[in-house]
Structures are given as structure tokens and as C-alpha cells.
Amino acid sequence: MFHKLQKRLTLLYTITTGGILTAVLLVCFFYMKSSLEAKNEALFTSLFLGISGIFQTESVLSDTWLANAETANDLIIHIEDNGTPLFFPGSWEPRTQREELVKRAQNLAQGSGKKLVSGSPTSQQSPILYFNGDHGDSYTAMVLTLSVDSKTRSLLVIQDITASARQAVFQGVFFLVVGSAGIILLFFASWYAVGKTLVPLKENQKQQAEFIAAASHELRSPLAVIQASASALRTDPLSAPAMTLNIEKECVRMGALIKDLLVLAAADSKSWTLSLKPWDGDTLLLDVYETFEPLCRQKEIPLHLSIPQEELPKALCDKNRVIQILTILMDNAISYTPAGKSIDLQIHLQKKFICFTVEDHGKGIPKDEKKFVFQRFYQGDRSRKDSAKTYNDSSLKRR
């Protein structure tokens, strides 16, 4: 059950956190991509404006200047005069034929529509155009057309942006790898975190199963005695007084056990309440002393009561719960204190708290079993005489 729950919770956490991580990485990727594109557009626009400025002011552009401009910025500069291309072979050879790139750029410019250049009714400039070559290469282009005295001159500038496009692809792959690795790490981290979270639940279920088994065992014993006594009554009517006494004793025992189980259930469900009132601590301790003194005297266990001479402040507490806790401690002390050894009941003021102490002088609890003191129905190893202790009511005391 817990393994299946762990897988479901891990999957849920991985999907949730992985979705958040993916969204963050996508935002970062598109932000970097748009920033890179904006930067490249700004650089290309600046180059185009510089070249177009010279193109508009100079009637003749030398091949040397054109070659240097192309080589320095991976450009293709194409100039036409009245539809006739300027004879310039270019300074470098792109992956796709220059003529094909020029044709594609001109077709895009015609389809995109040109806008008048500000302040010049005879100049038209296209927006930035993007297109691809035949071998996975990418380009951007702009066109400027001048119309003067029925003559038309056009400037086409193309820039190879294959490296920049590949950089964007590499960035996408990088973010994809980072996202995938992050989701895998989140899966293992979620698996570990969920596993650690389920440890207390597993322990609680284990204790609950042990509690049910122990409670069933404790209830089975008085029921067996009652059943045996009832059978004896049918077969031997003369033993009725003794058998009736056994039945009554076991009924009282079972009633007390059921009462403790109900208190434990109320504690687990957080449904019990405390009736807090100011009480005299020494009076509470004296009540416990008077309750157990006859039993201790019968078992030849001296019971000593120690109350300070100075008056103690009243304790804000639930009287019944305090007596219940002290009763549990006294039951354990009497059960495991041999005859002749004493039990001490003490009360003292420690800072702002009233402290009750029940101290016996029996064998004590072995160090390796002290951690089980508050475990319900825990019983030490009966093969060791000095450690055969049962802590049936310790969980009540702890609460």
C-alpha cells in the first residue's frame, strides 16, 4: 500500500514541480531567443542604414568597398540600376547560390510591401525579411528603392545569420537537456522526500497493528476466564461462589482495560478535553497515597510520602488526568518492586511548575528497553527476570 502511495505521490510531485520547471525554462528560453533576435535585428538595421546612406549619397561604389563590407559582416550586397544589376561578383560564396538568394529576397520584398522612408517621398524601404537557403542556411534581408527622374535604383542587403540561428537551436537543446535532467532529479528527490514523509505513517500503521493485536490478547484473557468460570458453574454448582467471584474480578479487569482503550482512542482522535482548574498538588498526591497505601502494606512495600513544609501554589490541571497518570506510575512501581523495597511519592516546586515524582527501588528498566517505555502494550523479554516489565498504560501517561 505504501509503495503504491509513494509512487503516486512521487508522480504527482514530479509532474507538478516538473511543470513549473518547464514553464520557467520556456520563459527563459524565449526571452533569450527574443533578446538575441532583437540584438541581431538592431545590428543588421544599423548596417543597412550605414550602407543605404552611402548608397544614396554616392553615385559610384567601388568593388573594394563593397567587398570589404561583405566580408566584414557576412553580407551580400546587390545593387540594380533601372533593373540592371551592378556587375559585382561578390567577395565570398554562400552555401546557396547568390543569384538564388537575391531572387528569393526580391520576391519576399515584393510580397511584403514597402514603406516610404521618412522625409523622402522617392524612397521606399522594406521591413526586415527572413528566409532560408537550400542547405539549412538562414538569411535576413532589407531592400531600399530610390526613384529619381524616372530612374530607379535599388539596394538589396542580405546577411547570413546561420550561426545565430544555430546558436538559438543550441540554446533550445541546452534548455531541453537541463529541463530533462531537472525533471529526473526532481523525480528522485520526490521519491526520497515522499519516502521520508511516509516513514512515520508506516511506523504508525505498524504500531496500530501491534496495538490491535495486543489489545485483542488482553481482552481474550478475561473472556477466557469468564467462559471457563461459566462452564464450571454448569458442571459444579457447589463452586458458584468462587466462580462468581472470578467472573466479577475479570469483568472489572476487562472494564478497566476497555476504559483505557477508549481513552487511547480519544487521545488519537484529538477528541478528549481537559478540565483545567486550580488544585492543591499536595492534596492530589495525598489522595494517591491513601489509595495505594493499603495495597503496598499488604505486599510489604513501604510507601513514603514527601511533601514540603512550605505551602505550594495551586496547580492548574485536570485532577482526573493527574491522578490517572500517578495511578499508572504507582501500578508499575508496585508490580515490579520486591517486598522490602520502598516506593517514594514526592512533590516539589521547580520554577513555575509543580512536579510529582514516583520513585521505586526495584530492578529498573534496562537501557536498551527504555525507548519502549511509551510504546503501547510493550512487554520486555520474559526470559530475563529483571526486565519482564509491561508498559500497558505508558502511552496514556505520555499523553
The per-residue pLDDT for range 284-302, each reduced to its tens digit, is: 999 999 988 988 888 899 9
* Average predicted confidence (pLDDT) for the chain: 83
Q: Is the pLDDT of residue 237 over 70?
A: yes
Report how far apart, in Å, the C-alpha atoms of 46 and of each of 72, 142, 206 are: 14, 11, 74
Q: Give per-residue pLDDT as tens, 292-331.
A: 898 888 889 999 999 988 888 998 998 888 888 898 888 8
Domain residue ranges in the chain: 75-160, 277-362
Nearest Cα to Cα of residue 170 among 20, 33, 56:
33
Which cell goes with 365?
A: 528498566
Note the pLDDT of residue 214: 72
Identify the DSSP state of 313: P
Q: CA-CA distance, 102 to 125, in Å (whole number)? A: 16
Is 373:391 a contact under the CB 8 Å cutoff?
yes
Note the pLDDT of residue 379: 60
Report how far apart, in Å, the C-alpha atoms of 281 and of each of 15, 232, 308 are: 57, 48, 11
Q: Give per-residue pLDDT as tens, 186-200.
A: 999 999 999 898 888
347 contact partners, CB below 8 Å, separation of at least 6: 281, 282, 285, 306, 307, 308, 312, 354, 355, 356, 357
% of residues, the chain, pLDDT over 90: 34
Q: Which residue has the higher pLDDT, 183 or 238?
A: 183
Report how far apart, in Å, the C-alpha atoms of 226 and of each of 122, 272, 273, 312 are: 117, 32, 34, 47
Note the pLDDT of residue 46: 93
Q: Give per-residue pLDDT as tens, 72-81.
A: 999 999 998 8
- Residue 373 — very low, low, confident or very high, per pLDDT cuts 50/70/90? confident
Note the pLDDT of residue 203: 81
Is 156:105 a contact under the CB 8 Å cutoff?
yes
Right CATH for 277-362 from 3.90.226.10, 3.20.20.70, 3.40.50.920, 3.30.565.10: 3.30.565.10
